[in-house]
Structure 1
């Protein structure tokens, strides 16, 4: 087989390498072309050198090109994969820093909450540019695979306004299933069969079977409570399991910021999170992790390049959906996964226009969703709160409507639990002004926002958050890795 895959935001070096090696684990795909594109020539150069080394080491005919000209990369592409972060770590730092001034403590801030909503405002105009290029220069019927957050908002915009065949992809379901299989004592995650449905980062394991045996709420609660690690790291998630009766796919830290109950007061935050790793609830944890990862990669690049000389091992192919979807579409080997698509009746008690994440099957006829799912009422109610925020956020981003943007932020569950309307109005003005260079649709609103800020009397505070850690130096990271290696 010979076709072209374009990767937008290919400078996300580690993730691009994973997608690349996963796809090349499919024997039929050795003759394909990968077209890498990014706004950073520096990052493109690094990832191309790594992928070229993989091709050379494995004696493959695979073609790899790299260009900052996005349209050139998209020309004739059958598949387009996006893993962009518009505004990079600079804008992301404001997504965490500014809400903290108003008492809003986020762990990740990339899906909803104040940070995720502003992230969506930055991404959506760019997503629509991608879609325009796909319609104009990509292969007829090209499929757009979006890995970028905020997943639901980006996918919603691409489908509804970009008019491109789009599917959103995430790995939260797989990771949650691996946890459940482990606590139940399974020898392999493959022993666990499940139905997991909802919206991205708020999907729910509504049916579980281990080797064909149904698993109920009480057994799952007992299994997590008895686990020596997860019982400490997933305290909030386990509490939600006890109250809702089903387990959430999302990590302790992520889940905590989508709900209005656990991060509303500093003493509550420290009660429910775990500081053994960023993902369990640390303030700005993913920002710290991303910064450290970038610094580590820049410093240790020669080691990453050397590691690329190793043979590809198909047995170590990851469970990221992209390669499996492409394999199913191109070879007709059926793949079952969980995909972000427009609802259209798949989940009976969520809105038709919402972007859901739910089970589907892929073959040469495309992605076919399993319809007729009804979520437990509490799960549907929680999802609805986020869907309403997502819908307003998408519409605000398309129209450049700062008033609707403020209403979207106001209706966010955690923001509403912490902040007053006056605080929300000022916070959004501050974020739009700070991120104006990435928000072209709000250019007309920036002068008035600046004027309001100059006269505002809403009090703010300089607050690091309830559980903030400093970015570690390269020396500290090296020492930690050495200690872990010695202990292991």
Structure 2
């Protein structure tokens, strides 16, 4: 088979490498063209060198191109994959730093909450530019696979306003299933059958079966509490499991910032998080992790390049959805996964316009969702709170309506549990002013926002958060990796 795949934001080097090697695990895909595009020529040069090394080592006739001209990269592409972060780590740092001044302590800040909403405001205009290019220069009927967060907002905008065939992809469901398989003593995750449904990062294991035997709440709680690691790392998720009766797919840190109950009092945060790794609830944990990863890659690039000169092992293909979806569409080999699409009745007790994440099957006829799913009422209520925020966030990102943006932030569950309306209004003004270069739709609102900030009497504080860690140096990272090798 010969067709073209374009990857936008290909400078996300590690993730692009994973997607690429996954694709080459499909025997029929070894004569494809992969077009890389990014705004950073430096990052493009690095990832192109790595991918060409993989192609050379395996002797495949795959064509790899790299171009900062996105439109040229998209010409004729049948599939377009996006993994962009508009504003990079500089804007992301403001997503964490500014809300902390108002008492809002986020672990990740890329889905909802103050940081995720502003992230969406930066991404959506760019996503719509992608969609325009896809409509105009990509292959007829091209499919857009969005990996970028905020997943639901980006996918919502691409479908409703971009008018492009779009599916959102995430790996939270797979990671949650791996945990459950481990605590239940399964030899492999393949012994576990499950239905997850909800919205991205708030999907719920509403049916679980181990080798055909149904697993109930009590057995699941007991297994998690008996596990020596997860019992400490997933305290908040276990508490939600006890109260809701079903387990959330999302990590302890992620889930903590989508709910109004666990991060609203600084003195309570330590009770629910674990500092063994950033993903379990550390303040600004993903920002620190991302910064360290970028610094490490820049320094250790020669080693990454050398490691690319190895034969691909199809047995090590990852569980990221993209390659499996393309394989099913192109070959007809059926793939089952959990996908982010417009609801339209798939989940009976969520709105039709929402972007939901639920089971589907892929074959030559496309992505076919399993309809008629009904969530437990508490799960639906929690999802609805986020959906209402997402809807206002998408519409404000498209319209440039700063008042609607403020209302979206005000209705965010964690923001509303911590901040007053006056604080929210000032915080949004501050974030829009700080990120103005990435928010062209709010250019008309920036001067008035600056004036309000100059006159405001709302007090803020200099606060690093309840559980902040410093970014580690390259030397510290090397020492830690060396110690881990010795321990093994």
The residue aligned with 2:385 is 385
Once residues 269 and 249 of structure 1 are traced to their aligned partners in structure 2, the CA distance between those partners, rounded to angstroms, is 21
* Residues 1:186 and 2:173 are matched in the alignment: no
| 1:293 is the counterpart of 2:284 | no
Q: Report the Cα distance in structure 2 between the residues aligned to 1:269 and 1:17, rounded to whole angstroms.
A: 36
Residue range with higher mean Cα deviation, 263-272 or 429-438: 263-272
1:296-375 pair list within 5 angstroms: 296-375=296-375
Post-superposition CA distance 1:179-223 (Å, at most 9, x none): 001000000000000000000000000000000000000000000
Within a 5 Å distance, the mapping from 1:144-155 to structure 2 comes to 144-155=144-155
The aligned counterpart of 1:33 is 33
Segments of structure 2 that go 5 or more residues without pairing to the other structure are: none
Q: Distance in 1 between matches of 2:160 and 2:214?
A: 38
Q: Secondary structure of the residue that 2:374 maps to in structure 1?
A: coil
Quote the Cα distance in structure 2 between the aligned partners of 1:271 and 1:221: 18
2-side partners of 1:295 and 1:266: how far apart?
A: 30
Residues 1:139 and 2:136 are matched in the alignment? no
1:240 alignment partner in structure 2: 240
Distance of 2:146 and 2:393 partners within structure 1: 18
CA distance in 2 between partners of 1:180 and 1:308 (Å): 32
C-alpha deviation, 1:460, in angstroms: 0.1
Question: Residues 231-290 of structure 1: CA distance to partner in whole angstroms, max 9, x if unpaired?
Answer: 000000000000000000000000000000000011111110000000000000000000
Measure, in 2, the Cα distance between the counterparts of 1:372 and 1:29: 35
C-alpha distance in structure 2 between counterparts of 1:297 and 1:310, whole Å: 19
Equivalent runs, 1:16-55 vs 2, <5 Å: 16-55=16-55
Q: Distance in 2 between matches of 1:171 and 1:420?
A: 35
C-alpha distance in structure 2 between counterparts of 1:232 and 1:365, whole Å: 44
1:414 corresponding residue in structure 2 = 414
How many residues are matched? 488
- Secondary structure of the residue aligned to 1:258 is coil
Moved over 4 A (4+): none
SS, match of residue 350 in structure 1: coil
The alignment partner of 1:197 has SS state of: strand
Is structure 2 residue 127 aligned with structure 1 residue 112? no
After superposition, give the CA deviation of every residue in 1:164-184 in whole Å (9 maximum; x if it has no partner).
000000000000000001000
Partner of 1:479: 479
Cα distance in 1 between the residues matched to 2:77 and 2:54: 22
* TM-score computed with the length of structure 2 as normaliser: 1.00
**Distance (Å, rounded) in 2 between the aligned partners of 1:23 and 1:244:** 38
Match of 2:426 in 1: 426
Q: What residue number does 2:221 align with?
A: 221
Task: State the secondary structure of the residue aligned to 2:163.
Answer: coil
Query: What is the distance in 1 between the residues matched to 2:171 and 2:111?
Result: 14
Distance, in Å, in 2 between the alignment partners of 1:363 and 1:200 is 23
Q: Secondary structure at the match of 1:167?
A: strand
Distance 1:6 1:326 in 2: 13
Separation in 2, partners of 1:341, 1:297: 33
Distance of 1:54 and 1:312 partners within structure 2:
8
For residues 331 and 222 of structure 1, what CA distance do their matches in structure 2 show? 43
Structure 2 Cα separation of the partners of residues 165 and 421 of structure 1 = 38
Whole-Å separation in 2 of the counterparts to 1:307 and 1:338: 32
With the length of structure 1 as denominator, give the TM-score of the two structures. 1.00
What is the Cα-based RMSD across aligned positions, in Å?
A: 0.2
Shift of 1:162: 0.1
Unaligned regions of 5+ residues in structure 1, if any?
none
> Structure 2: how far apart are the matches of 1:447 and 1:325?
46
Matched, 1:394 2:394: yes
Taking the aligned partners of 2:257 and 2:268, their CA distance within structure 1 comes to: 12
